[in-house]
Amino acid sequence: MKFGKEFASQMVQEWQQAYMDYNHLKRLLKDILKFQNRNASGSVSVTPTGTLRRRLSYYRAFSGLTSRRRVSPKNNEDEIILVSTMQQQQEEGSEQTMFLKSSEELGEYELVFFSRLDDEFNKVVKFYKEKVAEVKTEAEEMSKQMGALIALRIKVDNPLIVSNNKASSPGSVVPGKQGRSDHMDPIEEVEMSSEGVSKDEKRPGSESKRYHQRRMLEQSNLNVAEGFVLPKLEVLNHTKINAQPETPVSTLKNVFVGSKSDLSFSKEELKKAEEKMKRALVEFHQKLRLLKSYCSLNLLAFSKIMKKHDKITSRNASKSYLEMVERSYLGKSDEITILIERVEATVIKHLANGNRREGMKLCRPQVKKERHMVTFFLGLFSGCSIALVAGIIVSTHARNLLNREGSRQYMDNIFPLYSLFGFIVLHMVLYSLNIYLWRRFRVNYPFIFGYNEGKESMGYREVLLCASGLSVLTLAAVLSSLDMDMDPRTRSYKTVTELVPLGLVIAVLLTFLCPFNIIYRSSRFFIIKCSWHCLCAPLYKVTFPDNFLADQFSSQVQAFRSLEFYVCYYGWGDFRRRSNNCQTNHTYKVFYFIIAAVPSWARFLQCLRRWFEEGGSMHVFNGLRYFSTIFAVHMRTVYDLRRGMLWKIMAAASSGVATISNTYWDIVIDWGLLQRNSKNPFLRDKLLISNKNIYFAAMVTNILLRLVWMQLVLDFQPPFLHRKALVAVVACLEILRRGIWNFFRLENEHLNNVGKFRAFNSVPLPFYYDEDKTT
């Protein structure tokens, strides 16, 4: 693999604009190479003309040739470049390169190269300094939080130590070393204690007093060693806990009381605080590792591009420039490495009970391994699904089932039961295609959804495996019920035949809710948690996965109605004779009316929650949009149940308003397209797909699929399709529209994160304290 591709593959995608533009610098070197080739063949003159001359003169004016520089006294004939630091108005300093061979044939081109190289280097250094400053500030906050956690742990686990030490006041020294009254920073304490362990292990006979004192405290020894300094326990007097899990009850309580509560010094409270602190430290460690990778990759990129320059131009400029890079803040700063070691030591000692293997397992994310078994079973189930579909088609045509008397009865009673699984399988197939495309175009969907790539994320193969497995079960059930229904020998087992769909849906639900660690439990529980948040909206804080899942549910209205039909058919209908009275049952009609609007109602409440917490008129407009959708769905449902010209006009008018507002929001807000001042006409500035026609095709397709509701209002009924089949086709078209929407929605979200350099989730910390009182 060429370095350019490897460099792009290892980038933090949200920081890609902050990396060195290796490809552009490589193109400038290619221009030099082309000029060499043309000049060697005598096809062009040496002096560039036209637009290139103006471009070169621009770079010459700002290249530092006319500026006063601090020239190195070692200026000899072999030197190609001189690099010096120029003081800027609002910067500490930026590196600028003077090219000493500008009078030669390639001088103008190399001048452009070194000027752009300086710009890229200064950009990288500036970004790195800003990020280092941010993580240092965050490290101070982590240290304070860790100090409060250690104090809380001592308060909870060692109450006698606290009571014995009250006489000398919390945080003061125990008699023995009167000169020291300050307590050690928790991260520094861990670092020094780990060093003490290694030294003592190397010298078995030695006794480190400080090390044994800390070990005695860790082992809850009530006899505090002489001279040991306890953490400042008075910090707990001005600290409130923020470790309560968010539940509907706690949300309602926080509305009236507040989100922070006083410490009760209970073990349950300590356990929750430790769990939150562990998540925060692991996320912080991941941030430090990526920042270290950013530094290493850019150093390597500068080395590669300079070596490529020397190879093309046959000069020796890389030595001087790379020496400058090594002396710069990017090359000599070791603050990130020190912070990584301290965080790892903190996690190992305080959150992993001193077990280095467990601590490093927490800090280092596990790399997801691709399994050949997944691919094997995916191919097996896919082949079985195709064979079963062929078997159903052959069986239907061979026995002429569509023209028999029981065909209408079958479509009215059995087809809605099996169509539920068809909707689910289609949605899963489209979602797996979305995952494949997100990976193909480097959309950081694990970060956007908020789960770990190696632990909770299912790849497109795993999703396709689940979809193909469900399709095999469904198609096998359909074929078996057809055979059992048509075979005279099995007609006496009519009850068993009719219970096949119910057994299938029970098996799928039990598998989905299974608490054992099988069949991607973490992903299943993640979906269950987000579904519960959607159902309880607005009592949970709204996150992007909750928004996204509620939007998926809004495209699965017919699937929810199929679940309702299961209850009606097997609960109130005579399923042994394939008959039901659902259409005349008042309770069924009420729930049929309510279920259609539940997903949109959840999104409406989520918009209200976000408006209450964040403010902004956009959430209000978004909520009104979902309210118009709820009204339109209700009007279409009423017209479907009652008919009548008035209801038809109301359904058409409300659906038209909802379609216009939803289409505008999809294309302009969710997809970020149709921007007025974009460099890509009618699109946006940044696009992941190079073929722009795909975006226009997606917009047109979205509009057309948004209009499928017109079939329900205009009563368009093809003679070759049963009404239930037509409803299923319309539902599948909506699922298809949602699958297209998914890709462009996450593409826009990813580009927004890239524009803001937002590459990490914000993890709530366990403690809240008053700065004025604790300092």
DSSP per-residue codes, 213-281: HHHHHHTT-SSPPTTPBPP-GGGGGGEEE--PPP-HHHHHHHHHT-S-EE----HHHHHHHHHHHHHHH
Mean pLDDT value of segment 284-306:
91
Query: Does 9 reside within a domain?
Result: no
- Cβ contacts of 596 within 8 Å, gap of 6 or more: 557, 560, 561, 633, 634, 637
Band (pLDDT 50/70/90 cuts) for residue 320 is confident
pLDDT at 628: 93
List the structure tokens of 551: 């939007």
Where b means 16+ CB within 10 Å and e means fewer, 682-714 reads ebbebbbeeeeeebeebbeebeebbebbebbbe
Instruction: Count Cα atoms within 13 angstroms, Cβ side, for 389.
Output: 9
Band (pLDDT 50/70/90 cuts) for residue 86 is low
Return the minimum-mean-pLDDT range out of 286-295, 366-375, 422-431, 599-608: 366-375
Tell me how far apart the 2 most distant CA atoms of the chain are, in Å.
105
Query: Does 279 reside within a domain?
Result: no
Gyration radius (Cα) of the chain, Å: 34
Mean pLDDT value of segment 701-724:
81
Higher pLDDT: 586 or 44? It is 586
pLDDT at 154: 82
Q: How far apart are CA 485 and CA 488, in angstroms?
A: 8
pLDDT at 357: 85
pLDDT at 226: 39
Mean pLDDT value of segment 666-680:
90
Q: How do residues 229-248 score in pLDDT, each as one tens digit? A: 455 667 777 777 775 566 66
Higher pLDDT: 532 or 90? It is 532
pLDDT at 506: 94
Q: How far apart are CA 638 and CA 635, in angstroms?
A: 5
Domain end residue (candidates: 270, 287, 318): 270
DSSP 369: P
Residues 504 and 394 in one domain: yes
Higher pLDDT: 626 or 200? It is 626
Higher pLDDT: 129 or 93? It is 129
Query: Does 437 reside within a domain?
Result: yes
Band (pLDDT 50/70/90 cuts) for residue 175 is very low
pLDDT at 113: 84
Band (pLDDT 50/70/90 cuts) for residue 545 is very high
pLDDT at 162: 52
Band (pLDDT 50/70/90 cuts) for residue 598 is very high
Q: How far apart are CA 465 and CA 519, in angstroms?
A: 11
pLDDT at 75: 44
Q: How far apart are CA 259 and CA 500, in angstroms?
A: 50
List the structure tokens of 167: 């006489």
Mean pLDDT value of segment 14-42:
84
Mean pLDDT value of segment 468-494:
79
Mean pLDDT value of segment 368-378:
83
Which of 441, 432, 115, 569 shows the shortest CA–CA distance to 107? Answer: 115
Domain end residue (candidates: 270, 305, 322): 270
Return the minimum-mean-pLDDT range out of 117-126, 286-295, 472-481, 750-759: 750-759
Residues 501 and 627 in one domain: yes
Domain containing residue 186: 157-270
Band (pLDDT 50/70/90 cuts) for residue 71 is very low
Domain end residue (candidates: 270, 303, 324): 270
Band (pLDDT 50/70/90 cuts) for residue 687 is very high
Higher pLDDT: 680 or 256? It is 680
Q: How far apart are CA 416 and CA 541, in angstroms?
A: 36
pLDDT at 160: 56
Band (pLDDT 50/70/90 cuts) for residue 250 is low
pLDDT at 272: 84
Band (pLDDT 50/70/90 cuts) for residue 324 is confident
Is the bond leading into 204 cis (omega within 30 degrees of zero)?
no
Q: How far apart are CA 605 and CA 47, in angstroms?
A: 68
Chain position carrying tokens 């289409």: 663
List the structure tokens of 548: 């996204």
Q: Spell out the alpha helix ranges (H) of 516-644.
A: 521-535, 544-554, 557-571, 586-595, 598-614, 617-642
Residue 551 has pLDDT above 50, yes or no: yes
Return the minimum-mean-pLDDT range out of 13-17, 384-388, 422-426: 13-17
Q: Nearest 5°: phi and psi at 227?
A: 90, 0
Residues 638 and 751 in one domain: yes
Residues 511 and 634 in one domain: yes
Q: How far apart are CA 598 and CA 457, in angstroms?
A: 27
Query: Does 633 reside within a domain?
Result: yes
Residues 538 and 677 in one domain: yes
pLDDT at 110: 77
pLDDT at 558: 93
Mean pLDDT value of segment 93-122:
72
Chain position carrying tokens 């928004």: 547
Residue 561 has pLDDT above 70, yes or no: yes
pLDDT at 16: 86
pLDDT at 77: 42
Residues 245 and 378 in one domain: no
pLDDT at 253: 62
Mean pLDDT of the chain: 78
Query: Does 232 reside within a domain?
Result: yes
Return the minimum-mean-pLDDT range out of 11-20, 62-71, 100-109, 636-645: 62-71
Residue 440 has pLDDT above 60, yes or no: yes
Query: Does 286 reside within a domain?
Result: no
Q: Nearest 5°: phi and psi at 734?
A: -70, -40
Query: Does 692 reside within a domain?
Result: yes
Higher pLDDT: 268 or 591? It is 591
List the structure tokens of 499: 């219970």
Q: Nearest 5°: phi and psi at 581?
A: -115, 30
Mean pLDDT value of segment 421-435:
96
- What is the percentage of the chain residues whose pLDDT exceeds 70? 74
pLDDT at 205: 43
Query: Does 761 reside within a domain?
Result: no
Higher pLDDT: 51 or 287? It is 287
Count how many domains the chain has.
Answer: 2
Higher pLDDT: 313 or 165? It is 313
Residue 257 has pLDDT above 60, yes or no: no
Q: How do residues 185-221 score in pLDDT, each as one tens digit? A: 444 444 444 444 444 444 444 444 444 444 443 443 3
Q: How do residues 745-765 score in pLDDT, each as one tens digit? A: 999 999 988 877 777 777 778
